[in-house]
Amino acid sequence: MVLNRLLYLIYGYILVFLTGGTLVFTLFVTPVLFRSLGKNQAGHVVGVLFPPYFHLLFIFSLVALFLQGARYFLNKTTGKISFISWGILVVMTGYLALFLGPRAMSSRAAWFARPEDASLKAAFDSLHQQSVLLNGFILAGYLALTLFLLTETHSTPAGRRTSP
């Protein structure tokens, strides 16, 4: 029981960190950068910030998957839906961090090396659009898991159900 509660607390903190960080990066940092620095300069800054951000999402999502898995296997009555959801989020964040993000960065570098080549710009735009869309789905997943966490109940030793 104590181990399950400890796992729940660590898991909750990680989830709140991921949700808050993703909200801040997606809805505040990126728009402010583009508004204040302009497209080219902001693109360079985002190119430096986002690869580590994507890797951080992947690593912490992987940790949260293991924590939720441990919680599920300790108490089979809670956490199956969020365990499956974390599995999906790990695949999405891993794809973004290890495949899509690096491809977008190399595509951007190729386009900047030959800015007159419209096909290179189109390739980058497509990869960028995919990464923005995937980041949006990841954010939606974190928000859904946060709401699920807020509604989750726990058993007390007396058998009553309480909120966390």
Helix (H, G, I), strand (E, B) or coil at 1: coil
Q: In this model, does residue 44 exceed pLDDT 90?
A: no
Q: Look up the pTM and report it.
A: 0.82
How confident is the model over 63-119, as pLDDT tens digits?
Answer: 999 888 887 777 766 667 778 888 999 999 999 999 999 999 899 889 989 999 999
Q: Is residue 34 part of a domain?
A: yes
Q: In this model, does residue 133 exceed pLDDT 50?
A: yes
Question: What is the domain extent for residue 22?
Answer: 2-152
Q: In this model, does residue 39 exceed pLDDT 90?
A: no
pLDDT band at 157 (very low <50, low <70, confident <90, very high): very low
Q: Is residue 158 part of a domain?
A: no
Helices in 25-117 by DSSP H: which ranges? 30-37, 39-74, 80-95, 101-113
The domain total for the chain is 1
